[in-house]
Amino acid sequence: MSDSTITSYNIESAAALHNNPNRVSQLPFRDTFLLLLWPSWVGKSTIMRELPETKYIWPYTTRELRPGETDKKHVSSEEYDNLLSQWKILFSNDLYEVRYGTPLAPVLDAQRDWKVPILDFPLDKVTSFSQSVRRIIDMNFLCVYLFPPDMATWIQRMQTDGRMNESRLSAGKAELTDLVQSTEPHPLIDISLVSHTGKIDDLVSSVRQIIQKLRT
């Protein structure tokens, strides 16, 4: 299947397939971690800013922060090792010689404040992430996959945002193609939504409705 044949129809069909809405009402509000899944650039950052019911879980990183970057916390490699040894990092991810760690403290803060911890995350790492987190804290995971409206629009969005690179493009294409061609629901995806151009408010509203269906 080529880029041009992954159309809005294909995406809508895939989103309908990869859905398990009945699971949402089975999950408890206070002990559920909401993961917004890839591919890149489908509006995840905007959604997270618009959901007061949630708490964004900022990561530690050994990479120096870019100018104006406020959604991560830089630590040295030594500090990072200390955090790991003290079990203060729920999940550690090495990427391009940089380490990123999901911290424990803000997740506990979210539970205390009756907010749902939220994180944008790649689909292919959900299993290892959930296993790592559960070694430290008992959590449920609600995985919401955000589809772009079609492949061409997704590529255009990345180009406009300046985030286009070959590895990101190749991985995203492969993931979307697999989901579109699948004939069985993906076992890790609970809810699928489509990020239509110019309708981010509708997407925010849909995610909010999902959160409100969690069992209190």
- The predicted-structure confidence for 114-142, as pLDDT tens digits, reads as follows 999 999 888 999 999 999 999 999 999 99
The per-residue pLDDT for 49 is: 84
User: Which residues have C-beta within 8 Å of that of residue 63, sequence separation ≥ 6?
Assistant: 72, 74, 98
- φ, ψ (nearest 5 deg) of residue 110: -60, -45
The per-residue pLDDT for 38 is: 79
The per-residue pLDDT for 101 is: 96
Half-sphere exposure of 25 (CA within 13 A, CB side): 2
CB 21 within 8 A of CB 162: no
Residue of 28 and 170 predicted with greater confidence: 28
* Reported confidence tier of residue 154, pLDDT bands at 50, 70, 90: confident
CB 190 within 8 A of CB 144: yes
The per-residue pLDDT for 68 is: 84
Closest CA to 144 of 121, 160, 163, 164: 121
| Residue 39 preceded by cis peptide, ω within 30 | yes
Closest CA to 139 of 149, 148, 129, 147: 129
Rounded Cα distance between 15 and 3, Å, is: 17
For residue 3, pLDDT over 60 is answered with: no
**What's the whole-model pTM score?**
0.91
For residue 182, pLDDT over 60 is answered with: yes
Rounded Cα distance between 201 and 20, Å, is: 23
The per-residue pLDDT for 172 is: 87
Mean pLDDT, residues 169-177 taken together = 89
Q: Give me 196's structure tokens.
A: 């239509």
Residue 95's DSSP bridge partners are: 98
Q: What is the pLDDT of residues 40-91, one digit of tens each?
A: 666 677 788 899 999 999 999 999 998 888 889 999 999 999 999 999 999 9
The per-residue pLDDT for 155 is: 85
Q: What is the DSSP letter of 14?
A: H
The per-residue pLDDT for 164 is: 62
Closest CA to 90 of 53, 50, 32, 139: 139
For residue 1, pLDDT over 60 is answered with: no
Chain-centroid distance of CA 147 in Å reads 12
The per-residue pLDDT for 204 is: 93
For residue 188, pLDDT over 80 is answered with: yes
